[in-house]
């Protein structure tokens, strides 16, 4: 027996043993179909193609036509050994290679990211790129997301102009940045629904906690009227709503908040109270101006003749509006020089009349008025003298002022 005869069986036995050493399933490759999405690692990169190991019997290839379609910045980020997601175009070309697309897989990555956001319900930021009658379009990479009008926050709803063409009502939102959540995803129907309203609920919850901890009684803050109810107006303070109660809208009596404010109006308000337990913020609009009775002497004096509006008639007299938050009483005895059985014999509600102030009592919040003394002889001379003095003073001041303007500047000599 020669050496060759000995070596051949030994070599054959070694080959058998090496095959036996392979793990089970070593030749089991995944079944690929066109349209599949696969994960892989880059094997090599050249100007004409990219080879990717996708765990198949042969490497997958990204041909030069596909390379021309890829974003240059995306290409620069690729490296040998790096992971990629690929879309199967052909399971086998003429050379036996799997042909894949990275550009179509980039869209798949965007879908995957959208699905992760759907599962986590995390808030993300998006920019409005388009609109239609039913809402606005926000892109997540290469995936087109849609925000229905019902899912837009109140800030956009409040700014709607009824005179604008319904097809164009969301046009002004183009380019606006929004906080969004994924609320529905259906890849088969290419459907991605987003919600700003849901995202804002979470954001406002965090903001409300912050404001409740930071705001203090006596602070002055800016806000926007978001809604009106019979009992008051709600103000958005930038993440949390505060309430201006009906009684805190103005110093005068208010029947409905719409008499003082409107939705969308910017206001500066005073913080009355912050209830961290009940999570409520009480606000006041009227405290942003002086209490009228505290400054009444700055404007009105006893003996002054003013024009008022009759607001209410009673058996003992007529109430008249002097200014916002200030009413006076014309007692029945001050309506005329003769006996009056009821004020309606002289005045009616809504009448504008001239009266004279005969008494001011800021502490008791009362002003006494007189209709009959508005032209009383006892006051005529005083009124006439005051008018003459005002005219005389103005006349005397004018020449003096002219002389002052014409006089040369005199520099006194030093002693």
Lowest mean pLDDT among 279-293, 363-377, 390-404: 390-404
Q: How much of the chain exceeds pLDDT 90, in percent?
A: 40
Tell me the average pLDDT across 266-275. 93
Tens of pLDDT, residues 210-252: 888 888 999 999 999 988 999 999 998 887 889 999 999 998 8
Cα(288)–Cα(392) distance, rounded to whole angstroms? 40
How much is the pLDDT for 381?
A: 46
Give long-range contacts, CB 8 A cutoff, 24+ apart: 60-64: 60/86, 60/88, 60/97, 60/98, 60/99, 60/100, 61/93, 61/97, 61/98, 61/99, 61/100, 62/86, 62/100, 62/101, 62/102, 63/99
Q: Whole-prediction pTM value?
A: 0.51
Q: What DSSP element (H or E) covers 387? A: helix 377-406
How much is the pLDDT for 30?
A: 63
Residue 2 bridge partners (DSSP): none
Tens of pLDDT, residues 16-65: 455 555 455 444 556 788 878 888 999 999 888 899 998 887 888 988 88
Higher pLDDT, 349 or 93: 349
Contact 250, 256 (CB under 8 A): no
Place of tokens 């809604």: 227
Cα 195 from chain centre: 15
Q: What backbone phi and psi angles, to 5 degrees, belong to 254?
A: -120, 125
Tens of pLDDT, residues 285-315: 999 988 888 888 888 999 899 999 999 999 9
How much is the pLDDT for 370?
A: 93
Which domains are assigned to the chain?
A: 37-101 (2.40.50.140), 120-201 (2.40.50.140), 215-288 (2.40.50.140), 294-377 (2.40.50.140)
Quote the DSSP letter at residue 31.
P
**What six digits make up the tokens of 395?**
């006349």
């Amino acid at each position: 027996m020669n050496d060759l005869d000995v070596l051949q069986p030994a070599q054959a036995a070694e080959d058998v043993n090496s095959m036996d050493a392979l793990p089970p399933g070593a030749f089991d490759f995944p079944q690929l179909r066109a349209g599949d999405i696969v994960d892989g690692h880059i094997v090599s990169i050249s100007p004409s193609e990219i080879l990717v190991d996708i765990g198949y019997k042969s490497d997958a290839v990204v041909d030069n036509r596909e390379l021309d379609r890829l974003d240059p910045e995306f290409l620069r980020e690729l490296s040998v050994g790096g992971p990629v997601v690929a879309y199967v175009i052909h399971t086998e070309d003429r050379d036996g290679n799997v042909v894949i697309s990275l550009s179509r897989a980039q869209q798949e990555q965007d879908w995957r990211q959208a699905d992760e956001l759907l599962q986590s319900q995390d808030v993300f930021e998006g920019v409005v790129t388009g609109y239609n009658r039913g809402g606005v379009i926000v892109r997540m990479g290469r995936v087109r997301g849609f925000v229905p009008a019902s899912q837009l926050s109140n800030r956009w709803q409040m700014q709607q102009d009824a005179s604008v063409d319904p097809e164009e009502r969301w046009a002004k939102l183009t380019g606006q940045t929004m906080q969004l959540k994924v609320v529905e995803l259906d890849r088969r129907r290419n459907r991605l629904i987003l919600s700003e309203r849901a995202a804002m609920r979470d954001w406002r919850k965090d903001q409300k906690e912050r404001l409740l901890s930071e705001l203090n009684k006596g602070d002055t803050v800016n806000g926007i009227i978001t809604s009106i109810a019979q009992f008051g107006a709600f103000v958005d303070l930038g993440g949390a709503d505060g309430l201006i109660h009906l009684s805190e809208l103005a110093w005068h009596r208010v029947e409905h908040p719409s008499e003082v404010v409107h939705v969308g109006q910017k206001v500066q308000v005073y913080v009355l109270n912050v209830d961290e337990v009940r999570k409520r913020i009480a606000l006041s609009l009227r405290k942003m101006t002086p209490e009228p009775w505290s400054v009444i002497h700055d404007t009105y004096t006893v003996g002054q003749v003013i024009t008022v509006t009759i607001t209410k008639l009673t058996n003992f007299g007529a109430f008249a509006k002097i200014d916002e938050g200030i009413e006076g009483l014309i007692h029945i005895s001050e309506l005329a020089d003769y006996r009056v059985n009821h004020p309606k014999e002289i005045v009616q509600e809504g009448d504008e009349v001239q009266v004279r102030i005969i008494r001011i009592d800021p502490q008791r919040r009362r002003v006494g008025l007189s209709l009959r003394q508005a032209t009383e002889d006892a006051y005529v001379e005083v009124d006439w003298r005051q008018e003459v003095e005002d005219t005389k003073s103005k006349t005397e001041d004018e020449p003096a002022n002219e002389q002052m303007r014409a006089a040369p500047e005199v520099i006194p000599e030093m002693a």
